[in-house]
Structure 1
Amino acid sequence: KDPRINPMTSVTDVEVTTDLKFATVYVSVLGDDESKQKTMEGLKKSASYARHLLATRLNLRNTPELIYKLDESMEYGANMSKRIDEVIAADAGRRSVDQKDD
């Protein structure tokens, strides 16, 4: 276990090439930018160990090389949802003011 890896890290997707030589692992990290950066460093440093663990558990001719990429889609989605809620609340406030004026 690498102390740099944030415990609030999730694998969101994995894409494996057809020849099984590479696997792109998309991870989501809850935290600030520094925490995300440290987590990605820790994952990249431990990639060979994770690959070794995969090799012992999977019966494959080649164990894919792991390439980690930060996935910020969940954070982006949460931010967009928050903005939509704010717009809906502001619109509801304007409508109630308009109805009082009538």
Structure 2
Amino acid sequence: MATTEDTAAAVAVHTEGPTAAVIAGAASENVAEIVRTHKRAFADHIAALVAAADLPPARVGQLLILANGAVVTAAIAGSPEPAREARAAAQRLLDEGVPD
């Protein structure tokens, strides 16, 4: 069974590669499709972790926003710190929750 720590870790581990390609202005439709496929797979992974941890389905979108925001911010800043901040925010969201 997935734990809230597993879910938060998955958010933090989400890599910046595909998003960085889009930020860099990749004009190729092939690259764009790879990014879309990666993002769908990541969303499916987070959804599975949320379901396994018996959390509200609304957490999926909330966690994806944290992860994607961290990825973009890290790519712009050239620092892994946004991933650490996103992990802490995800952990707090999972531990304390918010009204759905």
| Alignment TM-score, normalising by the size of structure 2 | 0.30
Higher percent of residues as helix: 2
Higher RCO (CA < 8 A, seq sep 6+): 2
Higher percent of residues as strand: 1
Q: Which has the larger radius of gyration?
A: 1
| Alignment TM-score, normalising by the size of structure 1 | 0.30
